[in-house]
Amino acid sequence: MTPTVVRIDRSSPQPRLLDATGPLISIEDEGYTRGDGAFETMLALDLTVRKLDLHLLRLAQSSRLLHLPRYDDADWQAAIELALSAAPAGTPSELGAEHTVKLLLSRGTPAEGPYGLVVVSAVPESTIAQRRDGVRAMLLPRGHDPAEDTAYPWLLAGAKTLSYAVNMAVLRHVRSLGAQDAIFTASDRRILEGATSSVIVARRDGDALTLLTPEPSHGILPGTTQGAIFEGARADGWELGFGPLYPADLLESDGVWLSSSVRLLAPVARLNNQALPVDRGLTDRLLGYLMSR
Ligand code: PLP
């Protein structure tokens, strides 16, 4: 199914619906040729984007780090509305009709400069299935500690840039080994994040429940899904912890999830060669915090 594409430009922020069956991107576009740009991937349920405020905030932060212009939230909102109004049918699930909504902000061509796109498509069934079935994940080294990058703004730590080739390469690597997802570790084995997700860990101690995640501001991407779940969990009386976490913390936990905006929560059913507890009740409780936001 062809996605719906809407373009916004700084010079004329009026959104324009494009014909996605034809050429859309110039061969000189530096978002395409250099991965020079930022993006957000969001979930729309029954044509309403979830936690749009958090995504627009993170896109503004990425734009600032990349020295790209910031569009008004109202301009993005008008473009999203237009794209959703022309969208193909969403994938039906127990949550509603599901669409993936991507915001892309490219450096553009040297002649024309930056511009934004909104791309709407139906969520793949396989993504929805991983919420229920969970994933087999592997721990893989990131090579260095991204916290070291935070001192150097040109390394773009914490920005969600269009340069995702490494994130895609690690997924191909784990798939070639029979797993479905990857969790990056730093050189000291500290847990960082998934290839396209945040890591959430639950620990039970009698009646006390603790929810843990690696420190979000230390060079990894601050996940909007993780943030929203932690907000709900805090209000519901959970203890919250922000790392550092090591492989043993995951292997000895009462549950590990990969959280991201479209897949929502994928329980990690197996980490390397070890089975992990998958607790549907806990998953539903965390999902409830996210959905009630
Ligand atoms: N970390 C990385 C590297 C990601 O690519 C993503 C999402 O794509 C996340 C974390 C989770 O972010 P969010 O929950 O805002 O989708």
Average confidence (pLDDT) over 132-139: 97
Q: Is 122 exposed, middle or buried (0-12, 13-18, 19+ CB in 10 A)?
A: middle
DSSP 212-260: E---TTSSS---HHHHHHHHHHHHTT-EEE-----HHHHHTSSEEEEEE
Minimal-distance CA residue to ligand 1 atom 5: 196
pLDDT of 139: 98
Regarding whether 34 and 103 lie in a shared domain, the answer is: yes
CATH number at residue 282: 3.20.10.10
Measured CA to CA, the distance from residue 10 to residue 116 in angstroms comes to 9
Regarding whether 72 and 195 lie in a shared domain, the answer is: no
Contact 276, 139 (CB under 8 A): no
| The CA-based dihedral angle spanning residues 276, 280, 282, 284, taken in that order and rounded to the nearest 10 degrees | 140
Domain count, the chain: 2
Residue 234 belongs to what domain range? 130-291
pTM attached to this predicted model:
0.97
Mean pLDDT value across the chain: 96
Regarding whether 93 and 69 lie in a shared domain, the answer is: yes
Regarding whether 196 and 72 lie in a shared domain, the answer is: no
Q: Complex ipTM above 0.90?
A: yes
Regarding whether 117 and 61 lie in a shared domain, the answer is: yes
Regarding whether 105 and 139 lie in a shared domain, the answer is: no
Measured CA to CA, the distance from residue 95 to residue 47 in angstroms comes to 12
Residue 250 token pair = 């995951």
Average confidence (pLDDT) over 166-180: 98
147 CA → ligand 1 middle, Å: 17
Minimal-distance CA residue to ligand 1 atom 10: 197
For residue 59, name the pLDDT band (cuts at 50, 70, 90).
Answer: very high
Regarding whether 157 and 14 lie in a shared domain, the answer is: no
Regarding whether 106 and 212 lie in a shared domain, the answer is: no
Average confidence (pLDDT) over 22-31: 96
The per-residue pLDDT for range 243-287, each reduced to its tens digit, is: 899 999 999 999 999 999 999 999 999 999 999 999 999 999 999
pLDDT of 11: 81
The domain boundary, picked from 122, 157, 175, lies at: 122
pLDDT of 207: 86
Q: At what angle do helices 224-235 and 280-291 cross, to 10 degrees?
A: 100
Minimal-distance CA residue to ligand 1 atom 9: 197
Regarding whether 163 and 92 lie in a shared domain, the answer is: no
pLDDT of 47: 98
Regarding whether 170 and 39 lie in a shared domain, the answer is: no
The percent of residues in the chain predicted with pLDDT above 70, rounded, is 100
Start-to-end Cα distance in the chain: 31
The domain boundary, picked from 71, 96, 122, lies at: 122
Regarding whether 156 and 93 lie in a shared domain, the answer is: no
For residue 105, name the pLDDT band (cuts at 50, 70, 90).
Answer: very high
- DSSP element (H, E) containing 30: helix 30-34
CATH number at residue 104: 3.30.470.10
Q: Which residues line ligand 1 (CB under 6 A)?
A: 41, 167, 193, 196-198, 221, 223-226, 259-261
Measured CA to CA, the distance from residue 191 to residue 259 in angstroms comes to 14
The domain boundary, picked from 85, 106, 122, lies at: 122
Minimal-distance CA residue to ligand 1 atom 2: 196
The percent of residues in the chain predicted with pLDDT above 90, rounded, is 94
The per-residue pLDDT for range 192-218, each reduced to its tens digit, is: 999 999 999 999 999 899 999 999 888
Regarding whether 8 and 92 lie in a shared domain, the answer is: yes
